Amino acid sequence: MKAINPATDKLIKDYDEHSPVDVKNIISDVYDEYLLWKTTSFEYRSKLMHKAADVLRKNLDKYAKVITVEMGKPITESRAEVEKCIWVCDYYADNAEKFLADEIIESDAGKSFVAFEPIGAVLAVMPWNFPFWQVFRFAAPALMAGNVGLLKHASNVPGSALAIEEVFHEAGFPKNAFRTLLVSSKLVKDIIKDDRVKAVTLTGSEWAGQSVASTAGNELKKTVLELGGSDPFIVFDDADLPSCVAASAKSRMINAGQSCIAAKRFIVVESLVKQFEEQQAEIMRNMKVGDPLDENTQVGSMARMDLLEELDEQVQKSIKMGARLLCGGKKADGPGAFYLPTVLTDVKKGMPVYDEETFGPVSAIISVKDNDEAIKVANDSRFGLGGSLWSRDLKKAEAAARKVESGAVFINGMTKSDPRLPFGGIKKSGYGRELSSYGIKEFVNIKTIWIA
């Protein structure tokens, strides 16, 4: 399993994969640990989870560099990612016991209540784009609930996978409360089928979600899926354009555009579209693209060259179909998977950048006649993960946000994940929720207890 620096095309390290026998032994060890871990107190788990946050704090630069070197995001963004992992560890350490407290419900019983109990080993199949955050937002609530974790990470970030395991072990968690499996995707089905694995959470592509859900469904195992997104960035006719445009560029370019909840379709009323496209293109063409370890870099490399080639194919097909290129539209000169920040306008239904998820630094601007059409176009997608809406009239914006088909809508702000708020999608963006009190209850037994 090779880790290659996408900014230099150079090998970082070649890791030995776990064999099928290794995997079975690890699952066995994790299951045995669960029988002990589930009996521990919230106070004990909280103490260890706060220690995990401390390990991340003390090694912030070390872990940020692991992220940047393996998948190419700017070092400043990698630090922010580690800081967010610290936040989610502390958040669940402080709140898990409250979230999972018995819920008294009045019935015909002398006493009746709902208890929330752990279910066992949860397998996490995780992506490369936020290699620490995606894992910690699963692991912190799962471990605090009394479950144990198995991580099958993306094959291009094995160093991140092992570093996360290291964090929990250095914090004092039992060795087998959280384990990393260095395996290829072809072994995931067999892992799901193992009776000792009780549930699966996946963040990834639509195809990966279908594959995991199919296997888990046959085994009658719970799944949570966070899949692709083609988030609308809706600009009403009364939007504050300067702040709106600045946020649009930032939202599209974070992680070189490789984010499920990045703004991807910029739906702008025709009275503002010319100003919007000119101002966004001006910001994008002046962003600094370069060495992800440089503190001044704004856009790093994409994670792999094949991903860059797929993105470029979407762009070129859309241009041939009538989209107008304002900037970018090609790979940067030199080595590495660097794609120039790209703005396309005159985007129409049927073009790849309208219909498909574009996972890279490409903005697709769609002009609409009015606010009502903007909502219709926003909902004209098979995805429904997140979105943002821009208007000075907050009452009107809130009413419109209720009509947007997605798991979240941010008004006059960038779409983002926050430990305090539930996160997840609808339609082809998946199902289930992570984060908040909702996320920790996805992988527990919601048990009714009735006493005469």
- DSSP assigned state of 269: E
Cα-based torsion angle of the residue sequence 121, 127, 131, 135 in order, rounded to the nearest 10 degrees: -20
CB within 8 Å of 151: residues ≥ 6 apart: 124, 126, 135, 139, 161, 164, 165, 178, 179, 180, 181
CA distances from 65 to 69, 78, 383 (A): 6, 7, 33
**Pairing mode, strands 222-226 and 430-431:** antiparallel
Look at the block and give the residue holding tokens 């379709």.
Answer: 265
Burial 8-46 (b: 16+ CB within 10 A, else e): beeebeeeeebeeeebeebbeebbebbeebeeeebeebb
The answer to whether 226 is a known catalytic residue is yes
Candidates 85, 89, 244, 260; catalytic one: 260
CB-side neighbour CA atoms (13 Å) of 262: 23
Alpha-carbon distance values, 22 to 26, 151, 372 (Å): 6, 14, 56
- Contact (Cβ atoms closer than 8 angstroms) between residue 258 and residue 360: yes
For residues 182 and 160, is the Cβ–Cβ distance under 8 A? no
- 106 is an active site residue: no
Q: Answer for the pair 276, 236: CB distance below 8 angstroms, yes or no.
A: no
* 99 closest CA partner among 420, 424, 452: 420
Strand partners, 184: none
| b/e code 202-220 from CB counts within 10 Å (16+ = b) | bbbebebbebbbebbeeee
Q: Starting at the earlier edge strand, list the strands of the sheet with 103-104.
A: 103-104, 111-118, 444-451
**Candidate list 33, 165, 226, 434, residue with the active-site label:** 226
List the catalytic residues.
226, 260
